[in-house]
Chains A and B, each alone.
Chain A
Amino acid sequence: MNESTVLSVADLKLSYGDNPILKGVSMDLRRGEVISLLGPSGSGKTTLLRAVAGLEQPHEGRIVIAGKPVFDGKARIELPAEARNLGLVFQSYALWPHKTVFDNVAYGLKLRRVSAAETKDRVGDALKNLGLGALGERYPHQLSGGQQQRVAIARALVYNPPVILLDEPLSNLDAKLREEARAWLRELIIRLQLSALVVTHDQGEAMAMSDRILLLNGGTIEQQGTPTEMYSRPASLFVAGFMGTNNTLKGRIDARTADDVCLDLGEHKLWGRRCGTNAPDGVGGEAVGVVRVEGVKLADGPGPNRLPMDLVTSMYLGDRWEYVLDSAGTLVRAHGSEALDAGRRWVEIPPEKLWVFA
């Protein structure tokens, strides 16, 4: 932890009864940084966010916000949510239906005893910043989903919290709107120099929006890093499988060198990179090869790291075609730019694109 750390979580543990949800999670968020908490449902990502917010009770560990410990299991410090001075954008937005947009945003200032005139200015600025200038007198139910989301963000920002927490901020928007909102949100976070912790289950969203990604699995951090690191150098089969769209090939290890292994798929053999912490060292053991769909190429004839497969069907996806190929029950998907007829094809998987985990 250093000067610029605005949020620090150390070895946080939390259980519901006997059921451990967080099994010792540590992370640091620096000023002006956006971190995504990514993971499948039940991985503990939302619980971690809520524990930081003070809405869940951890039983061990430490949470420090802007230099102030807000939870410390050993020192028995636990600040209630209202004393942590955080902003949280709820998945459901949680706008108060009985208050106008202005009153929704102004509430945090009212509780902080900000004068009426200043409140008016600051709420006005916040609304303007979020493109909601003229909607102050409306009630939440008179707004569209996208506008509601902006009000929720304005409400969380207006009292300048050191960290803003966003719980699945885009999941309530239509698919079309979601991509626009993603770009807008990223631009907003950079423009206002916010430090943000974002929960999401969508890897695309996480990569687009954040400086760093924390991938959680079963209550622990599986891997953390920049989006490029996470996507191109997965540390485990789980991370490889979670990021991107993949083909999975199961086989046995036939031979190995320092960095590479040869995966025996039965009739065919492919060379790939050794990956993961328990990198395969023996020969003959079971192993799993993972290759991104975009890493598979169709070739015109036999060659190194190529195998023959039957093209079952071509699917039109608008900007490209997706081919479904089959070899003795193993399905492989690949992308291409034209429709292809069914039949025998050669598939090339370059060794550097095939990650082999044991």
Chain B
Amino acid sequence: MSTPSTALNAGHDGHGHDHNHGHGRRRAARLPFPTTRVAVVGVLSVFVLTPLLLIVYQSFLSGAFFMKGSSATLDAFRFIFADEDFWVAARNSVGIASGMAAISVPLGAALAFLMVRTDLPGRRVLEPLLLVPVFISPVVLAFGYVVAMGPVGFASVWAEHVFGTVPWNIYSLVSIGIVAGLTHVPHVYLYSSSALRNLGSDVEEAARISGANPLKVAVHVSIPLIAPALLYAGVLMFFLGFEIFGLPLVLGDPEGHLVLTTYLYKLSSKLGTPSYQLMAAVAVCIIAVTLPLVLLQRLLLRTANRYASIKGKAARQRPLMLGKWKILAFAIVGAWLLFTVVIPLAGVTLRAFVTSWGEGVNLLDVLTLDNFRQVFEDRTMVRAILNSVLIGVFGGALAVACYAAIGLSTHRKHDGLVRMVDYLVMTPRAVPGLLAGLAFFWVFLFVPFLNPLRNTVISIWIAYMVVWLAYGMRLIQSALLQVAPELEEAARLTGASAGRTLRDVTLPLIRNGLLASWLLIFMIFEREYSTGVYLLAPGTEVIGSVLVSLWSTGAVEVVAALSLINIALVGAGLALALRFGINLHK
């Protein structure tokens, strides 16, 4: 009776002899990990690893994996390594990836410095415009370049009128590299701008006081200090260079330039028969390049964090005054925007409303709405639009729910399970959408109980969800980071269980973050095209994959109209995001 706890009990119920009262049931012996967490991670690994393992397995077979006679062999690799086109494609991929990194990293860093650290006029308006290429499908952008800067494109016709000749060839390998580099500037911008935002402005002001002009401040102080972030972005650019598909497909076709992804895509038409083992072998070659790079990125991220801890103490942000440099800075940003956003989008828009285009064509004579009429009269295309919206809205919501489930199951935990999830989430980044779509196609084709799903949008949704897993998880995790740990700890001390705390404190607090993620996932799902290419079947059409297949038929008018509809869908998402002030920096 002398211990405080029993005394408390006695006071509480008035019966001092009731020893067990108020002590609660003894807890059941705990597993090292709660079952729900194990289940979530288990499902995740099945979804991530099955397609990947299937590709690897298939690449070492002599025939399709579901055929009885297939045996283990290296023939597939022998065949593609003997194919001259493969090596040309590989060389082109390396070239484009290097060019992309060489263009996008310096330019992205420069844009980030101007936008984040200086008093560049019109930053608020420029910012969302700068991010547009992230949300526009590369096929649409590539198509925009074709209709604007191709041999008879709007800009080319104008240039010929002014200079007497077209000073560029958009179909050359160099052009593809330049376009790829410029359209990926926003990716670098995102990483460098967030690094710059974390940098105290005092170190820059100190340089300014010492006598450095804005250019020297950037070169001597700001850029060296975000070098880890830039290196990270450089690696990202390099492996994205191996993964790009839409740009080289559209721009490389006229002159027959292949890269690894388009080589894979053209493989079945080249041989006349779908040869799964060869496709798988090419896919394994691509992943053999990208997976180590993804792992390298992870390593870099860790060192980058270490570097970030020695930033200026006062993280107050004051824009650097540009003074007379303003005009030059504005010109750089403007020129990039013109080439990367205005020209291709204007090209698509114009082309969607005209019957034909070429030299000496009067715009007023060719204006028409027929292209859209054609789209809406075609049941396949109407279905593609509908499916795209469904996938974006409902699929997006479901995807966010799944990502949130994964995020919550690892929230504030530091154990083996969390590390496993980290690697699982990272893995799909190494698998380009085209390959993931192919792998999921095989899975749906072959796993009997999944077969009925193959011709429904569900198959597309699952593939999309896995392809964008890393992106989605980043959205969820940044929302979760906003919740101060004390808020959850206070709930625990008040008496809420871990699950209860998630439900009553964490989830309500990240509600807005989840809604924002939904919108961003919607835009990304509208933009996606390559994942649906191999899954394209009656019933699974989405705008992106239909565009890819239409492009090869040469139906330019319909492609333009459908592209514009795609842009409109993404634009609606972007408008909503801006309206609600959603942070696009993720």
Chain A positions near chain B (C-beta within 8 angstroms): 53-55, 57, 78, 80-88, 90-98, 107-108, 111-112, 140-141, 155-156, 159, 172
Are A97 and B310 within 8 A (Cβ)? yes
Q: How distant is the Cα of A54 from the Cα of B214 in the complex, in angstroms? A: 13
Q: What are 11 A-B interface contacts by the 8 Å CB criterion?
A: A55-B318, A80-B321, A81-B321, A88-B205, A92-B200, A92-B202, A94-B312, A96-B206, A107-B207, A107-B212, A172-B313
Considering only residues 190-233 of chain B, those with a C-beta below 8 Å from chain A are 200, 202-203, 205-213, 216, 220-221, 224-225, 227
Closest to B199 in A: A97
B323 CB within 8 Å of chain A: yes
Residues in A neighbouring B211, C-beta threshold 8 A? 82-83, 85, 108, 111-112, 159
B328 CB within 8 Å of chain A: no
Residue of B220, B225, B313 near A92 (CB, 8 A) is B313
Majority SS at the chain B contact face: helix
Residues in A neighbouring B221, C-beta threshold 8 A? 96
Are A90 and B208 within 8 A (Cβ)? no
Q: How distant is the Cα of A9 from the Cα of B317 in the complex, in angstroms? A: 26
Q: How distant is the Cα of A1 from the Cα of B257 in the complex, in angstroms? A: 74
Minimum CB–CB distance for A257 against chain B, Å: 52
Residues in B neighbouring A92, C-beta threshold 8 A? 200, 202, 312-314
Closest to A98 in B: B224
Residues in A neighbouring B208, C-beta threshold 8 A? 54-55, 80-82
Are B209 and A87 within 8 A (Cβ)? yes
Are B213 and A80 within 8 A (Cβ)? yes
Minimum CB–CB distance for B586 against chain A, Å: 27
- The CB with the most chain A CB atoms within 10 A, among B220, B224, B227, is that of B220
Are A94 and B225 within 8 A (Cβ)? no
Majority SS at the chain A contact face: loop
Are A91 and B311 within 8 A (Cβ)? no
A57-B321, A91-B314 given; A111·B225 CB < 8 A: no
Closest to B211 in A: A111
Are B206 and A80 within 8 A (Cβ)? no
Q: How distant is the Cα of A108 from the Cα of B216 in the complex, in angstroms? A: 12
6 smallest beta-carbon distances between A and B, as pairs: A94-B202, A92-B313, A108-B210, A94-B206, A92-B314, A111-B211
Chain B positions near chain A (C-beta within 8 angstroms): 200, 202-203, 205-213, 216, 220-221, 224-225, 227, 310-314, 318, 321, 323
Residues in B neighbouring A78, C-beta threshold 8 A? 323
A81-B209, A97-B310 given; A90·B220 CB < 8 A: no
Are B206 and A88 within 8 A (Cβ)? yes
Minimum CB–CB distance for B222 against chain A, Å: 10
Residues in B neighbouring A85, C-beta threshold 8 A? 211
A55-B208, A88-B206 given; A82·B213 CB < 8 A: yes
Minimum CB–CB distance for A152 against chain B, Å: 8
Residues in B neighbouring A88, C-beta threshold 8 A? 205-206, 209
Minimum CB–CB distance for B314 against chain A, Å: 4
Are A111 and B212 within 8 A (Cβ)? yes
Are A90 and B210 within 8 A (Cβ)? no
Minimum CB–CB distance for A149 against chain B, Å: 12
Residues in A neighbouring B313, C-beta threshold 8 A? 91-93, 172
Minimum CB–CB distance for A197 against chain B, Å: 13
Q: How distant is the Cα of A87 from the Cα of B209 in the complex, in angstroms? A: 7
Residues in B neighbouring A87, C-beta threshold 8 A? 209
Minimum CB–CB distance for B125 against chain A, Å: 18
Additional A-B contacts beyond A80-B323, A81-B321 (6; CB < 8 A): A53-B209, A81-B205, A85-B211, A88-B205, A94-B203, A97-B311
Closest to B213 in A: A82
Residues in B neighbouring A82, C-beta threshold 8 A? 208-213
Closest to B206 in A: A94
- The CB with the most chain B CB atoms within 10 A, among A84, A91, A96, is that of A96
Minimum CB–CB distance for B347 against chain A, Å: 41
Q: How distant is the Cα of A154 from the Cα of B448 in the complex, in angstroms? A: 75
Residues in B neighbouring A57, C-beta threshold 8 A? 321
Residue of A55, A107, A156 near B205 (CB, 8 A) is A55
Residues in B neighbouring A96, C-beta threshold 8 A? 203, 206-207, 221, 225
Minimum CB–CB distance for A80 against chain B, Å: 5
Q: How distant is the Cα of A57 from the Cα of B321 in the complex, in angstroms? A: 9
Residues in A neighbouring B220, C-beta threshold 8 A? 107
Are A141 and B210 within 8 A (Cβ)? no
Residues in B neighbouring A140, C-beta threshold 8 A? 310
Q: How distant is the Cα of A100 from the Cα of B345 in the complex, in angstroms? A: 48
Residues in A neighbouring B206, C-beta threshold 8 A? 88, 90, 94-96, 155
Q: How distant is the Cα of A57 from the Cα of B318 in the complex, in angstroms? A: 12
Closest to A152 in B: B206
Q: How distant is the Cα of A35 from the Cα of B220 in the complex, in angstroms? A: 33
A53-B209, A81-B209 given; A90·B311 CB < 8 A: no
Residue of B200, B212, B224, B323 near A94 (CB, 8 A) is B200
Q: How distant is the Cα of A159 from the Cα of B323 in the complex, in angstroms? A: 24
Closest to A112 in B: B211
Residues in B neighbouring A95, C-beta threshold 8 A? 203, 206
